[in-house]
Amino acid sequence: MNIVLLGPPGAGKGPQAKVLSKEFNASHISTGDMLRDAVKKRTPVGKLAKSYMDTGELVPDNIVIGIVTERISQEDMRRGFLLDGFPRNEKQARELDEALRKTGKKVDIVLYFKTSPEISVKRLSGRRVCTGCGANFHVKNMPPKNESSCDYCKGRLIQRDDDKAETVKRRLVIYEKETASLIDYYKKKGTLREVSGDLNVEELFEEIKRLFAKESLRGAT
């Protein structure tokens, strides 16, 4: 099954993608993670992307579409994928459809994480990330055992530059301006399913499993 996760920053797409990819044995593709990795390694893509990411703007389409089409052409995509953070505008959505069509694939379901702005802002501003292994924590919802070091690798925990208050505001504006119209785009295609991004990871995981169980039942009758 090929799934797209859609929703504002702080909707919990990343943590949910992690549990869903295990449950459905699908590959988790996060364009945010891929770009952050490129920045860390100072690759040409990373150098280009950095200034956009730091200010909360979208990285230019040709760069992001390039890395995604490259990724979805790889062998492990055959078992299905979970796209997290892509597409973020209609151009990316159309290019994704086209790239998938060429290889006989399609987006089966789009999970739209409907999320209250207050909740997403709280999640983003409290998020702490490990500089060693990339693990995510939250000062209130998922506190690390030790305030400044990672539970898993003892790496240093930091706040992402784009999780600072001003940039969070900008990211939410960009989401409304560029990405929110994808709700209609996928509604028209009949693939959109709305779930609640306000729930915690476990509760939402249960909601999504129930939704999938209902869908396959419907498919069988």
Interface residues toward Zn ion, by CB under 5 A? 130, 132-133, 135, 150, 152-153, 155
- Do residues 213 and 130 touch, judged by C-beta distance below 8 A? no
* Contact pick of 6, 35, 67, 199 for ligand ADP (by CB under 6 A): 35
Catalytic residue among 13, 50, 123, 128: 13
Is 193 marked active-site? no
Comparison of 135 and 183: residue with beta carbon closer to Zn ion: 135
Q: Residue 52 interacts with ligand ADP (CB under 6 A)?
A: yes
Q: Which is nearer to ligand ADP, 136 or 215 (CB)?
A: 136
Q: Give least dist CB 205 to ligand ADP, A.
A: 18
Q: How many residues contact ligand ADP, by CB under 6 A?
A: 17
Alpha helices in 57-181 (DSSP H): 61-72, 90-102, 117-126, 165-174
Q: Which of 12, 15, 85, 144 binds ligand ADP (CB under 6 A)?
A: 85
5 binds ligand ADP (CB under 6 A): no
β-bridge partners, 140? none
Among 18, 71, 91, 160, the active-site one is: 160
Q: Which stretches of 73-191 are DSSP H helices?
A: 90-102, 117-126, 165-174, 182-189
Dist CA 83 CA 88 (whole Å) = 11
Q: Are strands 81-84 and 157-158 parallel, antiparallel or unpaired?
A: unpaired
Distance between CA atoms of 117 and 152, rounded to whole angstroms? 30
- Residue 12 lies near ligand ADP (rule: CB under 6 A): no
Q: Please, what is the minimum distance in Å from the beta carbon of residue 188 to ligand ADP?
A: 20
Asked whether 89 and 179 are in contact (CB, 8 A), the reply is yes
Lookup result for tokens 């009949």? 190
CA distance 39 to 129: 15
- For the question of residue 171 being annotated catalytic, the response is yes
Active site residues: 13, 88, 127, 160, 171
Residue numbers at the binding site for ligand ADP (CB under 6 A)? 9, 31-32, 35, 52-53, 56-59, 64, 85-86, 88, 92, 162, 171
